[in-house]
């Protein structure tokens, strides 16, 4: 394990950590020295790859399977980490899904599903760890939003609403716990090269690229660097903020 171990002794939970952006966040936090709990809804066999990578980098990682949309399951799993390991210091609410369709055709069940994973999932996980963070007088809650939470996107009324909701949620939590050494922030990626965006038609990708001043899509590493910074001691006075990682797609 090389580099500065700024997060040594910290316990981090990353939801939806088996692939995409979450996977790279797990690796980044592990390289910074944190003990990583990789949450996901998939089988152990799928998560083994990232656990091996964490171990290969000299870090410590374990699989913590549960569905973030399930309040009871989230609470049970996270409370067991707190009981067995003495706390959770860093929570990254990364698990997210899309169920895209134009509003006129959007099914209520797709609205509910996206809200339950993207927004209620963050509520479930944050609520399960907040008392432990308050008691330990230190915590980092980092939720992965999206540029579309700020700018909207046709076909993503459910997804954009869930990501905008995360911002209001985060700002409220930040105000509630700032005096206890806990920060809560959103990292809002633009268009990042992962499985989620791989499915976009080439024409749509070209149109998106033409709107990004940096001239490229982002990488999961671009997002993970922002998360690593917000998790650090150096970011202790930054709370209730939305950090956009989008190559200039929106500047506000």
List of residues contacting ligand NDP (CB under 6 A): 15-16, 18-22, 39-42, 67-69, 94-97, 117, 121, 144, 146, 189, 191-192, 194-197
Tell me whether residue 48 or residue 236 sits nearer to ligand NDP (CB atom).
48
Say which of 63, 66, 111, 159 is annotated catalytic: 159
How far apart are alpha carbons 39 and 33 in whole angstroms?
18
The Cα 51–Cα 129 span in angstroms is 23
Helix axes 120-136, 157-177, angle to 10 degrees: 20
Least spacing, CB of residue 136 vs ligand NDP, in Å: 25
**Is 237 tagged catalytic?**
no
Min CB(145)–ligand NDP separation in Å: 7
Residue with tokens 């024409």: 203
Q: How far apart are CA 250 and CA 217, in angstroms?
A: 13
Question: Helix, strand or coil for residue 223?
Answer: helix
Shortest Å, Cβ 242 to ligand NDP? 12
Q: At its nearest, how many Å lie between ligand NDP and the CB of residue 209?
A: 13
Query: Which C-beta is closer to ligand NDP: that of 5 or that of 241?
Result: 241
- Between CA 89 and CA 210 the distance in angstroms is 40
Q: Are 70 and 77 in contact (CB under 8 A)?
A: no
Nearer to ligand NDP, 54 or 192 (CB): 192
8 A C-beta contact, residue 142 and residue 230: yes
Shortest separation between residue 168's beta carbon and ligand NDP, angstroms: 16
Alpha-helical runs (H) found in 32-147? 44-56, 71-85, 108-114, 120-136
Phi, psi of 35 (to 5 degrees): -85, 120
117 vs 182, which CB is nearer to ligand NDP? 117
Give 33 or 37: the residue with its C-beta nearer to ligand NDP: 37
What residues act catalytically? 159
């Amino acid at each position: 394990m090389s580099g500065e171990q700024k997060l040594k002794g910290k316990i981090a939970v990353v939801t939806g950590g088996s692939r995409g952006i979450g996977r790279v966040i797990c690796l980044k936090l592990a390289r910074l020295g944190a003990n990583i709990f990789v949450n996901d809804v998939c089988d152990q066999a799928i998560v083994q790859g990232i656990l091996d990578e964490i171990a290969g980098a000299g870090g410590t990682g374990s699989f913590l399977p549960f569905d973030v949309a399930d309040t009871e399951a989230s609470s049970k799993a996270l409370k067991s980490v707190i009981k067995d390991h003495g706390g959770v210091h860093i929570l990254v609410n990364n698990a997210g899904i899309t169920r895209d369709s134009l509003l006129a055709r959007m099914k209520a069940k797709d609205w509910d599903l996206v809200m339950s994973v993207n927004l209620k999932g963050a509520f479930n996980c944050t609520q399960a760890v907040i008392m432990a963070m308050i008691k330990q007088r230190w915590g980092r809650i980092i939720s992965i939003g999206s540029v579309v939470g700020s700018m909207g996107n046709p076909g993503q009324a459910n997804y954009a609403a869930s990501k905008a909701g995360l911002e209001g949620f985060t700002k409220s939590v930040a105000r509630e716990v700032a005096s206890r050494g806990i920060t809560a922030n959103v990292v809002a990626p633009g268009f990042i090269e992962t499985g989620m965006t791989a499915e976009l038609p080439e024409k749509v990708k070209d149109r998106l690229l033409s709107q990004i001043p940096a001239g490229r899509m982002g990488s999961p590493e671009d997002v993970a660097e922002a998360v690593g910074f917000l998790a650090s001691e150096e970011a202790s006075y930054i709370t209730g903020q939305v950090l956009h990682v989008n190559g200039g797609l929106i500047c506000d």
